[in-house]
Chains A and B, each alone.
Chain A
Amino acid sequence: MRPAAEAFLAIDEGTATTAVAAVGRAGGRWRLLAATAVPAETETDAAVELLEVILRATDAPLVSDLGLGAGRLAELPRHTSRTGPTPTLAVVGVTERSLGPLGSVAERAGWRTWRASLERLDPLDLVRLLLDGRIEAVLAGAGDPAGADERSGLGDLAAVVATTIDRRPEVPIVLAGAVAAEAERLGLGGPSEVAPADPPDSVAAADPGAAASAPAGPTILFAPAATAGSPPGDALRRLLGGLAAGSGAGRANLVRAVASLAAVLEARVELVEVGHDGGLRATASPGPRPGDEADVAATLVPAAALVPGEVSEALVDGVLAWLTSSTERSRLRDRLATLRREPWADLPGEGARLRLAAAEAALVRLDAATRELGAGPAPDLLVLAGGVWAAVPGPTVALATANTLRRPGAWQIAYDHARLLGPLGALPTEAERRAVLADLADDLLLPIGSVVMPAGLRADRTAGRLLVHGPAGATELELVPGGLELVDLAPGEQGPVELRFERPVVLGTRGRRFALDLAGGLGGLLIDLRDVPLRLPDRASRRRELLAAWQAALWPGLDDEPVGRGSA
């Protein structure tokens, strides 16, 4: 019997659900033993107990071999990754124009923003906004130097901020641009110099901490303008990111894990997460030599949550655009509000359809907010994260991804089904992360399928031919522009694919003949010959029909009858 120290629990505590996975060394390598997820309101220990039941039922000899007898699982070391609710920041300025850059920087730093300017609200309404208990910090800013339309209102803005400081001293205040530079003149006190436009990370991170440790008094931070730094806004973003650091710890772990994964797989990896209270997109490319740190870029987008905050008209429109069933607008609004409040409930049937549509709408918002990350070449591997993907079958997930993340190329899609990346990203050193990920990559990445998405197809009868050399023999298909072809390629199978186009297309590079080596998955191989970007019919009923037709082909059991009734 091995010591139980050769196993650990990986716990991902989200705002909607808690995922628990047991990881142990078996056969000389780390293996995923079992995983489950429960609503966040359920005690984690109950999830561990459930995990024990699953483990005993599935592989009792392994449990015995690892020394994980009755009750021992709960005693294992735990690596926990915790994601808190997205904090809310009031972004205030003199003009509506100034709010754009400020709000955009704040959202990229992980804040949900409420924006208001003196151009739209009078000082009393602005004070009322800032005194709202849901506001957790305030960002007041202006250009540096202040614009001609801002100068006359700086005094009022400063007075509103001073009122907030007086009445809510516990709320951190960030002054940016001219408001910071002229703080003393405006009666807000402050340093003679604003933080440099390009502070090192440590400076930005240290400021809030230092302020928080101060014995008393309000926390006032001074920052450059939203357009200062390289890239523009970076200095302010880092400062605000430091303030919001606690809530985003789980996502920071995800980014670290993706970097390690890219280094381990020596592949370009992109992670896309749709969470209950925010979305994340991260890209990582391996360094030039083995052992080098991966090149990582990541953006947290609060608006890319499954249902971000209050249900707005824009959100309803976005979800309606992907929903395949007809529903009354007000009813949809209520269902989305319920989904926001009880994200784990009402999963079967219409609940699954709603989640898929909401997830697709969230992916669209995430893609729109992270254009710079999606502008590069397609990744080798796209990793999906977030509990929402567990609600629908794998092939449907592949379709949802292809529907929304449109870029020419070919890539494999995998799902972090046990939500291990967060906890593994919490491992203290890069070496440990790489060692565990090297063993666990196959277990933690559920292969969803591969997507081939050429661009520049002409609307002819045929675009060319496809030849897939699978284990069961070769499959040949005619490529029809505008169509969606599905080739069976099971998880674990690797298929050399030949594509011969009549005319040159863009598929990573421009050409007519391509030979790709693609991996299979639950959804097989998806040859997506639709427009890039995707164009859908304007008429709602026609759009629903088209989406439903695509979905029907990739959603096994979509029309299953409800089960569960019997006689006691």
Chain B
Amino acid sequence: MTRAAGSRDERLAARPDHGRRIEVRLADALVAVRPLVVPVERVRIPLAPGDVVLAAPGEAIAAGAPLVERLREPELVETAVPEASDLRSGAPAPAVTGGRRVARRRFPIGGRTADGPPRSDEGPGPEAGSVGPAPNAESAPEHDPTANPPGNAEPPSGGGASRRSSGELLFRRKGRWLIVRGDRTDTGVAPIGGTVAAVHAGRAVEIATVGWRIPGTAVLGDPTFGPLAVARDGGDGRAPALDVDLAGAIVVVEGRIDAETIGRARAMGLRGIVVGSLAGRVRRAVEASEARQRTALHPRRPFAVLVLDGELRRPIPDPVRELLAGLVGRPVGIVGDPPGLVVEGPLPRIVVSPDRVVVRSGRWAGTEGQLLGLAGVWRFAAGVHLLAARIATDDGEELVVPVADLVRYGGPS
């Protein structure tokens, strides 16, 4: 057998298409890769002081099972508490009677009350970007696992008379304790099954699990759970058709969506919405609407909006759409930290060609096609010089696009 002389690099370099292959490989390396899914080992559910976790560390919990009772309107009560060794901030308050209710300050801050973000020069405050606890019950029902078996996507709706939580110790002041408690709670559900790994009072409960997360950029609302469904674009920019058949489901909505549609979806009993993008004004309108409804008396169920890719209008890319289509009917959850759609079990098989790219921004945002290779430095609109790549679109056109505007979807990271 005759073999070419020289090293492997030299032999490869001698091949006539060597430069072309380097160019394509380099273009591949320079195009950002966005994972379609990422493995999930822990899911973090945010808590506020006074929220009561319904499962203890080490306890198994099924997806959709009630996990936390959130105070809708927490109040501060100052009271004397009998001395005991386990009195510390974050511990459940012992049952005591009486106590002086501490008046809470509610200064308007940017249109919100003090429950909203604090004044800050740049950053959001606590709970910024959150719709807030999804109200569920006027008063907290005593949790009965048999009444709401694991796996049941229907959390208790509440509304009846139930036991009032004795509250959570916040801190000691002049020999007395400040306790956080409230009359009404909302029930939060586990967005994915697993084992309660840790409970950090007033901060978060962590669920150890084995699953996958489809990454998003933002979530409005609290973790939620339900079977996945897809609603098609209404066409001509109209809002998608959502009806009561979708009650209890998390629905993927393609195309433009407005605050009214999101409000209607919640009212019809949908558990969540997944959108490609959500304009900032829609997001603010939804937040304002939710803030108003927090004061309502009627029970409300968990609901969240998952935004897959920011504020500017962008269609859901084909690989993500295919993956979501493959998950239709499967139970999924929406989590906010980090944002994404979580699912247990094996994923549908999606084949994404390694040279498949999506233009994520700029003039051709949303266009998809095949990466042909680097095109060198090009002069673009407004005289801007950028490293560019050639792509062949699905419509048969060849485009020269800034490399930085391209993204590839890859396997789990």
Question: Closest CB of chain B to A35's CB: distance in Å?
Answer: 12
Residue of A nearest to B200 (CB): A167
- Docked complex: B265-288 residues within 8 A CB-CB of A: 279-281
User: A225 → chain B, closest Cβ, in Å?
Assistant: 21
Chain A, 332-359, contact with B by CB distance < 8 Å: what is the 0/1 string? 0111011001101111111111000000
How far in angstroms is the closest Cβ of chain A from B197?
16
B384 and A348 form a contact (CB under 8 A): yes
In chain A between 362 and 386, which residues have their CB closer than 8 angstroms to a CB of chain B? Answer: none
Across the interface, do A348 and B48 meet the contact criterion of CB distance under 8 Å? no
Query: Would A159 and B310 count as touching, CB distance under 8 A?
Result: no
State whether A129 touches B118 (Cβ < 8 A): yes
B118 near A41 (CB under 8 angstroms)? no
Are the C-beta atoms of A128 and B121 separated by less than 8 Å?
no
| Stretch of A173-181, A512-520, A550-558 lying at the B interface | A550-558
How far apart are the CA atoms of A346 and B363 in the complex, in Å? 8
Q: How far is the CA of A342 from the CA of B157 in the complex (A)?
A: 41
Contacts known (A38-B30, A333-B280); A114 close to B310, Cβ less than 8 A: no
Secondary structure dominating the interface of A: mixed
With an 8 A cutoff between CB atoms, is A564 at the interface?
yes
The A-contacting residues of B in range 76-117, CB under 8 angstroms, are 76, 88-90, 102, 104-105, 107, 109, 114-115
Chain A residues near B89: list those with CB within 8 A.
162-163, 166-167
Is A473 on the interface with B (CB-CB < 8 A)? no
9 shortest interchain CB distances as A-B pairs: A557-B383, A309-B122, A348-B380, A349-B381, A46-B29, A334-B311, A564-B400, A116-B118, A346-B361
Q: Indicate if the CB atoms of B400 and A309 lie closer than 8 Å.
A: no
- The 19 listed contacts between A and B (C-beta, < 8 Å) are A39-B32, A42-B30, A70-B13, A115-B120, A123-B171, A129-B125, A131-B126, A132-B126, A159-B172, A166-B90, A330-B280, A345-B360, A345-B362, A348-B380, A392-B382, A560-B383, A565-B398, A565-B400, A566-B398
A149 contacts the other chain (Cβ, under 8 Å)? no
Contacts of A309 in B (CB 8 A): 120, 122-124
Q: Contact flags (1/0) for A131-161 with B, using CB distance below 8 Å? A: 1111000000000000000000001100110
Indicate if the CB atoms of A43 and B29 lie closer than 8 Å: yes
CB 8 Å contact bits of B142-179 with A (1 = contact, 0 = none): 00000000000000000000000000001111100010
Does A478 sit within 8 A of B, measured CB to CB? no
Kindly provide the distance from the CB of A552 to the nearest chain B CB, expressed in whole angstroms.
Answer: 11
B32, B124, B388: the one contacting A42 at CB < 8 Å is: B32
A168 at the interface (CB under 8 A from B): yes
Complex contact B178–A123 (CB within 8 A): yes
Tell me how far the C-beta of A399 lies from the nearest C-beta in chain B, rounded to whole angstroms: 14
Residue in A closest to B391 when the chains form the complex, CB atoms: A568
Residue pair A167, B362 in contact (C-beta under 8 Å) = no
Task: Kindly name the residue among B76, B202, B279, B381 whose own CB sees the greatest number of chain A CB atoms within 10 A.
Answer: B381
- Residue of B22, B102, B280, B365 with highest tally of chain A CB at under 10 A: B280
CB contact between B122 and one of A112, A120, A123, A128 (< 8 Å): that residue: A112
> Measured between alpha carbons, how far is A418 from B195 in the docked complex, in Å?
50
**Nearest opposing residue in chain A for B401, CB measure:** A564
Report the bound CA distance from A391 to B180 in whole Å.
Answer: 52
Give the total of B residues in contact with A, Cβ under 8 Å. 78
Give chain B residues whose Cβ lies under 8 Å from the Cβ of A41.
32
Asked if A445 is at the interface of the complex by the 8 Å CB criterion, the answer is no
A53 at the interface (CB under 8 A from B): yes
- B10 — nearest CB in chain A belongs to which residue? A70
- Beta-carbon contacts under 8 Å, B243-296 to A: 279-281
Question: With A124-B49, A131-B203 given, is the CB distance from A563 to B119 under 8 Å?
Answer: no
Q: Which of B118, B126, B201, B280 contacts A115 (CB 8 A)?
A: B118
Tell me which residues across on chain A come within 8 A of B312, comparing CB atoms: 334-335, 338
Q: If A349-B381, A556-B383 touch, does A114 touch B26 (CB 8 Å cutoff)? A: no
Within 8 A of A (CB), among B205-230: 217
A455-494, CB under 8 A of B: which get 1 and which 0?
0000000000000000000000000000000000000000
Q: Is the CB of A393 within 8 A of B114?
A: no
The answer to whether B125 touches A124 (Cβ under 8 A) is no
A227 to B48, CA, bound (A): 35
Complex CA distance for A129 and B119, rounded to whole angstroms: 11
Name the CB-closest residue of A to B406.
A345
CA distance A309 to B121 in the complex (A): 9
A298 shortest CB reach to chain B, Å: 20
CB <8 Å contact, B383 and A393: yes
| 7 further interface pairs, Cβ-Cβ under 8 Å (given A49-B26, A120-B105, A125-B105) | A49-B29, A112-B121, A123-B178, A124-B49, A134-B123, A349-B384, A566-B398
- Give CA–CA (A347, B387) in the complex, Å: 11
Give the number of residue pairs across the A-B interface with Cβ within 8 Å: 253
Complex Cα distance, B278 from A338, in Å, reads 12
Residues of B with C-beta under 8 A to A556: 383
Q: Which B residue sits closest to A158, measured CB to CB?
A: B171
Assembly CA distance A163 to B362 (angstroms): 48
Asked whether any CB of chain B lies closer than 8 Å to the CB of A71, the reply is: yes
CB-nearest residue of chain A relative to B19? A53
- In angstroms, Cα B383 to Cα A129, docked, is 46
Per the bound structure, the CA–CA distance linking A116 and B117 in Å amounts to 10
Residues of B contacting A121 with CB < 8 Å? 105, 114, 118
Using Cβ atoms and an 8 Å threshold, which residues of chain A touch B361?
338, 342, 345-346, 351
Please state if B107 and A560 are interface contacts (CB–CB under 8 Å). no
A6 within 8 Å of B (CB atoms): no
Cα distance A232–B279 in the bound complex, in angstroms: 44
Chain A residues with Cβ below 8 Å from B310 are: 334, 337-338, 341-342
* B217-A341 in contact (CB<8A): yes
Is B127 interfacial (CB-CB < 8 Å)? yes
B386 to chain A, nearest CB (A): 6
Cβ-closest chain A residue relative to B127: A128
Residues on B with C-beta less than 8 A from A131 are: 49, 126, 202-203
Q: Mark A303-319, 1 if CB is under 8 A from B, else 0.
A: 10000111110000000
In angstroms, how far is the closest chain A Cβ from the Cβ of B171?
A: 4
* A560 contact from B120, B280, B381, Cβ within 8 A: B381
A532 at interface (Cβ–Cβ under 8 A)?
no
Q: Judge whether A42 and B29 touch: CB under 8 Å.
A: yes
Report the minimal beta-carbon distance from B24 to chain A, rounded to whole angstroms.
Answer: 12
Most chain B CB within 10 A, of A50, A70, A131, A337, is at A131
Complex Cα–Cα for A50 and B383 (A): 23
Interface set, chain A 7-22, CB cutoff 8 A to B: none
B404 and A344 contact, CB distance less than 8 A = yes
Q: Which residue of B lies closest to A315 (CB)?
A: B122
A556 to B158, CA, bound (A): 66
Determine whether the beta carbon of A330 is less than 8 Å from that of B402: no
Query: Smallest CB-CB separation from B365: which chain A residue?
Result: A346
A115, B119: Cβ atoms under 8 Å? yes
Q: Beyond A71-B9, A124-B76, A560-B383, is A160–B125 a contact (Cβ under 8 Å)? A: no
| CB proximity of A300 to chain B, nearest CB, Å | 14
Question: Does chain B have a CB within 8 A of A292?
Answer: no
Query: In the complex, which residue of chain A has the Cβ closest to the Cβ of B400?
Result: A564
Contact A127 B29 (CB under 8 A): no
Q: Which residues of B contact A429 (CB under 8 A)?
A: none
Kindly state the separation between the CA atoms of A330 and B312 in the bound complex, as whole angstroms: 11
Q: A43 — which chain B residues lie within 8 A by C-beta? A: 29
Please name all residues of chain B whose beta carbon is closer than 8 Å to the beta carbon of A308 when the two chains form the complex. 121-122
Q: Are A567 and B381 in contact (CB under 8 A)?
A: no
Bound state CA distance, A427 and B399, in angstroms?
43
**Residue numbers in A under 8 Å from B126 (CB-CB):** 125, 128-129, 131-132
Q: Given A159-B171, A166-B88, A563-B381, are A120 and B30 also a contact pair (CB < 8 Å)?
A: no
The reply to whether A555 and B383 form a contact with Cβ atoms under 8 Å apart is yes
Write the chain A residue with the least CB distance to B91.
Answer: A166
A247 nearest CB across to chain B (Å): 15
Is B405 among interface residues, defined by CB-CB distance under 8 A?
A: yes
Determine whether B392 belongs to the interface, using a CB cutoff of 8 Å to chain A.
yes
Nearest-neighbour CB distance to chain A for B199, whole angstroms, equals 11
Indicate if the CB atoms of B26 and A310 lie closer than 8 Å.
no
* B128 within 8 Å of A (CB atoms): yes
Say how far B322's CB is from chain A's closest CB, in angstroms: 23
In the complex formed, the residue of A with least CB distance to B386 is: A347
Complex contact A564–B26 (CB within 8 A)? no
